[in-house]
Structure 1
Amino acid sequence: MSLTSALLTPILRAAPARPLVTFYDDATGERIELSAVTTANWVAKTANLLRDECDVEPGGRVAVLLPAHWQTASVLLAAWSCGAEVVAEPAEADWVFCDRDRVDLALAAEPADGVVALSLDAFGRGIDGLPQGVIDFATEVRLHGDEFVPWEPVPDTAAALAGTTVAEILARATARAADLGLTADSRVLSTKDWVGTPGLVDGLLAVLAAGASLVQVANPDPARLDRKYESERCTVRL
């Protein structure tokens, strides 16, 4: 079972319509809420893009140069759906996923196969004027189906994150969920960056492993966080 299936399948069975990821950007006023089903659909669309357009197969390597964002979660979970390993260094990757500010950095790393750029726009707008060969995520992902069936099963011994296997990272996320006091009833307000394995485990994977709900705040305004905690009925704060 892939890491994505291990994380999302129990949530989809238990509470498919419940909010799973709520994203705020205090700099722009953006708020978007995705149920477990909608999250899974985005993951499937992205996984189909990775497999059908980028030829990402089990054992492939993907670097993710993106902030903590609901679309970043879709990219990460899609990579694991395909059986790919998420690596820290873009120069070691077959494909690099990045935001518009890091396109030049991604190209300079010369990944083996190419670069996919995300606008992270709330309305799904793409990026104009991308260098030749760079795939515009917003334009391409909408063309793909919202169901994904892998060509072959992903073993739990496959590398998932920076050399850590599916089984190891799932065990680590589950343990951290317990350390943080997360349960399936938790609603987690977080301003954590998903930097490195520890940041990604605490900020995203532990929440999913617990079956909890995440409220992720980008560019947080400290004066608004207490109000968000109350209005979103959060129970845990990271």
Structure 2
Amino acid sequence: MTALDRTPADLLRSALASDPARPFVTYYDDATGERVELSVATFANWVAKTANLIQGELSLSAGDRLALHLPAHWQSAVWLVAASSTGLLVDVAGDPAGADLVVTGPDALEAARACTGERVALSLRPLGVRFPVTPEGFLDYAVEVPSQGDRFAPFVPVDPEEPALVVAGEELTSTQLVERAQGDAERLGVGPGGRILSGLGFAGWAGLAAGLYAPLAVGASVVLCRNLDQGALERRVADERVTVSAV
């Protein structure tokens, strides 16, 4: 992180400049046996492609509202930072009817249909594969994102003092988000090069901080666990060289 980093997208750019090859997100789903590891560079590529999808194909811009209905997942983390790159306001589990864009997994498709704007669905299947049949009224993220550009530049610079995140009813600007993430990293005891294991969901700030924002703010990495098998926890901590756990 540098003194100029005031948004999550800024933090990712600094991480990419510092050490693009280091692991950033290691994702487990203990219900499916899935494991995915993304380096900083690979994660940043997914973010760039997703940001290009938002700005280009979906024609959304800074200030538009994204209702995010996704679990703690590596693709959720991608969407959160891509939204920061484009200046969208992310409303975690927000009302789709009041959103310009809804992004959802398979479990919330019906509720997401209340959005009269753009709708994107993620299968959340291993390796990020597409739906067998695209849900009616939605774009399939896995179909749309691969063709997007690998580099992203916003049409208009993102204002770090504008609202960036609504979670559990609390609204944060990008600057507030970054400052809080730094504070949480200190509270959790994670620093540069550290590895935090998180089994928390993304519905509240604690899970978002442990599972994305705190490690991003301090140059650490995250082992993100969905459907965490407590019986596997001790071995995973050892195998993944975890320094801090938030479960």
Change (3 A) 1:114 1:217: same
Structure 2 counterpart of 1:92, from 88, 98, 120? 98
Q: What is the one-letter code of the residue matched to 1:200?
A: L
- Equivalence for 1:187: 195
Q: Please say which of residues 222-231 and 192-201 is displaced more in the overlay.
A: 192-201
Equivalent residues of 1:194, 1:204 under 8 A apart: no
- Equivalence for 2:230: 222
Q: What is the one-letter code of the residue matched to 2:108?
A: R
Q: Structure 1 residue 126: deviation in Å?
A: 1.3
Distance in 2 between residues matched to 1:199 and 1:228, nearest whole Å: 19
- Equivalence for 1:164: 172
Whether 1:42 and 2:50 are equivalent positions in the alignment is no
Residues paired across the two proteins, number: 236
Q: What is the one-letter code of the residue matched to 1:236?
A: V
Distance in 1 between residues matched to 2:235 and 2:120, nearest whole Å: 36
Whether 1:66 and 2:66 are equivalent positions in the alignment is no
Distance in 2 between residues matched to 1:189 and 1:202, nearest whole Å: 8
Distance in 1 between residues matched to 2:63 and 2:46, nearest whole Å: 22
Q: Please say which of residues 143-152 and 197-206 is displaced more in the overlay.
A: 197-206
Q: Structure 1 residue 42: deviation in Å?
A: 0.2
Same amino acid, percent of matched pairs:
44
* Structure 1 unaligned residues grouped into runs of 5+: none
Q: Please say which of residues 30-39 and 91-100 is displaced more in the overlay.
A: 91-100
Deviations 1:88-120 (A, max 9, x none): 32232111100012111111xx22412100011
- Equivalence for 1:101: 107
After the TM superposition, list the runs of 4 or more consecutive aligned residues in structure 1 that deviate by more than 6 angstroms.
Answer: none
Distance in 2 between residues matched to 1:229 and 1:199, nearest whole Å: 18
Whether 1:53 and 2:61 are equivalent positions in the alignment is no
Q: Structure 1 residue 4: deviation in Å?
A: 2.9
- Equivalence for 1:10: 14
CA RMSD of aligned residues (A): 1.5
Structure 1 counterpart of 2:145, from 141, 145, 152? 141
Whether 1:175 and 2:175 are equivalent positions in the alignment is no
Structure 1 counterpart of 2:125, from 117, 121, 125? 121
Equivalent residues of 2:8, 2:216 under 8 A apart: no
Taking structure 1 as the reference length, the TM-score comes to: 0.94
Q: What is the one-letter code of the residue matched to 1:119?
A: S
Equivalent residues of 2:121, 2:135 under 8 A apart: no
Q: What is the one-letter code of the residue matched to 1:24?
A: Y
* Structure 2 unaligned residues grouped into runs of 5+: none
Q: Structure 1 residue 217: deviation in Å?
A: 1.0
- Equivalence for 1:235: 243
Distance in 2 between residues matched to 1:2 and 1:93, nearest whole Å: 25
- Equivalence for 2:207: 199
Deviations 1:11-58 (A, max 9, x none): 112211000000011111111100000000000011111111211101
Taking structure 2 as the reference length, the TM-score comes to: 0.91
Distance in 2 between residues matched to 1:122 and 1:149, nearest whole Å: 30
Q: Structure 1 residue 2: deviation in Å?
A: 6.5
Change (3 A) 1:2 1:40: farther
Equivalent residues of 2:6, 2:178 under 8 A apart: no
